[in-house]
Amino acid sequence: MKQPAKDPKLIKQQRQKMLQFRRQLPIYSGREAIIETIKANDAVIVIGETGSGKTTQIPQFILEAGLASHELGTIAVTQPRRVAAVNLAKRVAEETSSTLGGKVGYTVRFDDTSSNHTLIKYLTDGMLLRELLMDELLLKYKVIVLDEAHERTLRTDMLFGMIKNIQRIRKDKAAQGEDVEPLKIVIMSATLDADKFSEFFDMAKILYVSGRLFPVDTFFTKEPQADYLDASLVTIFQIHLKQGPGDILVFLPGQEAIETLTTLVKEYAAQLRRSQQQVLACPLFAALPPSQQQHVFDPAPENTRKVILATNIAETSITIPGIKYVVDCGLAKMRGFNPKIGVESLLVHPISKSSAWQRTGRAGREASGTCYRLYTEDTFRELDDDTVPEIRRCNLAAALLSLKASGVDDVLSFDYMDRPSRASLVRALEELYSLSAIDDRGHLTELGKRMASFPLDPTFSKVILQSADYGCTKEALAIVSLLSVDSIFYTPSDKREQAAEARRKFLHPDGDHLTFLNVLQAYWEVKGDLGWCRDHFINVRNVKVALDIRDQLVRFCERNNIPPQVSCGTDTDQVLKCFLTGFFRNTALLQPDGSYKSVVGNQIVKIHPGSAMFGKRAEGIMYNELVFTTKHYVRNVSAIQSSWLPEAAPKYFNNMRASV
């Protein structure tokens, strides 16, 4: 790495300043003990709150102590979120007075600053899972740090079992005299649920490091609240009228609640007298375009208090400065999965105690604060300690395929920290079998191996891999990319009619898949003109991400000898037939009464109002997603003919006929 020449004296001064800064962190006093513990143990659990500096300092301690090196192997630190991986690497590069991509780097999708000089690499847990496909023992790493373990994301949970297994294999190999370095594991978590992690990693040593959160006064309601919107509104204005300066962060379950409350807060705020401090309501949720999300970071005008109305996005992903008060309605939308009927759900649930504390902590990041819980202390006591890990409430098809492709063939007896139900595992295996990703003995097929190599759900990778046969790879790549991002359409609640009108221009009579194709065509014709996107309510950020995904998928196709430019032109039935090879189980047939009944499970399903097929009748429909919210809604829907089904999945539909 060539670096610009610098005054050696200046560099020394900078290093000195950094060291001084690091020494002030609470964790620094425990430096020697931490190093000794990691040196003496195969696995260590580090428990520390936000602000303890564990994620930036411990990798540096490990490196400074010589526990990792280019010869022994380097350090990987995983994060559940991309921004965190990027920012941590930048921070630690600065602290070590090195250039990003030198000693310290990061790897996230579409952005890799690591090099063969890198000794500390921050990466998303998803990227480490991809590395496992290429290097089953992760031999380039001497130390693997899994951070934010308490969040229990699906990917972190998979990594728990996989690196535990890798550690055992590498230890055995080293003991037998093979030239393999044993692996060290460090698990970092913010909650006090240390024993569970310790037990899983063979009674690993536990280290506690103190954090730097300020005290937060916490209040409960005396009585249960029947209407959390009303309770939120009252609490917001009680704080506003009676408490000192500082912004308010309100946690709500979803977009609808946020939009309703935003309107109410604005109405009440308009009644404040001119002489009083004013209120500015800022909604915040993932589907909000980035330009509007940015408003939460704008300093409030003079004499104005910001009230941020947010989903769970403000619990971990977005940190807003200046929050002094948190209002917690105690609810969140959560994904669920019923393996017996194979239906996902998205429903409002009470949060867990740890989630409540996480929300509370958002008021104490810069100074002491206050948290108002809109539920009673008894209700709080009855909450679950922790949120059910994602692995126990989602479809496991993609996870099991990736396990198998990383050398874990027996996924039923895999070492899960929290074992998914047998029904859920079996259902996922059945799905993989029906897609021909595994054979009748459960072994990965050639097709399955190729499917696992794509950064997509198995259903989508099947579509891409079959697209050569249908002569529509170009279309499949475009549509899969657009389906891989959050909606490319944006519908502001106050301009619903205009947004719908603008969208009508792209509408294809056969449904959403081909409508997406029309949108992309139009986007290319105007070369992504920002004004055009705004006028047509297109979420530019999501289209751009989709195009990045498309570029990446094109490269994967080339590697798999699938010509990416093959197009079916106007024969668009080919596209829908091709999608059926991945989504034949996600189909429903029109009933005499005009409703749709799913082919698998005989469930009445409704077409989501955002769909191009909403209110339309077709002999059959295919959909990418079936989620129970207020009803069984299907999203991303296209019209199909039932006669296409046996061709798309002969094995599946012949077996079904035999079993009826």
Partner DNA sequence: CTCTCCCT
Residues near DNA (CB under 7 A) are 80-83, 108-109, 124-127, 130, 153, 155, 253-256, 285-287, 311-313, 317-318, 332-335, 346, 455-457, 484, 487, 491, 496, 608-610, 629-630, 633
Q: Closest CB to DNA among 287 and 388?
A: 287
**Cα maximum dimension of the chain:** 84
CB of 11 vs DNA, minimal distance in Å? 33
Q: Closest CB to DNA among 43 and 257?
A: 257
CB of 131 vs DNA, minimal distance in Å? 9
Q: Closest CB to DNA among 319 and 642?
A: 319
CB of 153 vs DNA, minimal distance in Å? 6
CB contact at 8 A, 57 and 67:
no
CB of 413 vs DNA, minimal distance in Å? 24
Q: Closest CB to DNA among 496 and 559?
A: 496
Q: Closest CB to DNA among 46 and 452?
A: 452
CB of 480 vs DNA, minimal distance in Å? 10
Token couple for 456? 């997509």
Q: Closest CB to DNA among 431 and 457?
A: 457
Q: Closest CB to DNA among 62 and 621?
A: 621
Cα–Cα distance, 486 to 545 (Å, whole number) = 10
DSSP 51: T
Question: Can you give 369-394 as a three-state secondary structure string?
Answer: EEEEECCCHHHHHHCCCCCCCHHHCC
CB of 308 vs DNA, minimal distance in Å? 13
Q: Half-sphere exposure of 64 toward its Cβ, with a 13 Å CA cutoff? A: 13
Cα–Cα distance, 399 to 422 (Å, whole number) = 15
CB of 98 vs DNA, minimal distance in Å? 23
Q: Closest CB to DNA among 224 and 609?
A: 609
Nearest Cα to Cα of residue 503 among 539, 546, 545: 539
Cα–Cα distance, 390 to 155 (Å, whole number) = 9
Give the Cβ contact number of residue 112 at 10 Å.
Answer: 14
Give the three-state DSSP class for 45. strand
Question: Can you give 140-174 as a three-state secondary structure string?
Answer: CEEEEEECCHHHCCHHHHHHHHHHHHHHHHHHHHH
How many residues does the structure list for the chain?
Answer: 660
* ∠ Cα 211 285 481 (to 5°): 110
CB of 100 vs DNA, minimal distance in Å? 17
Cα–Cα distance, 8 to 230 (Å, whole number) = 62
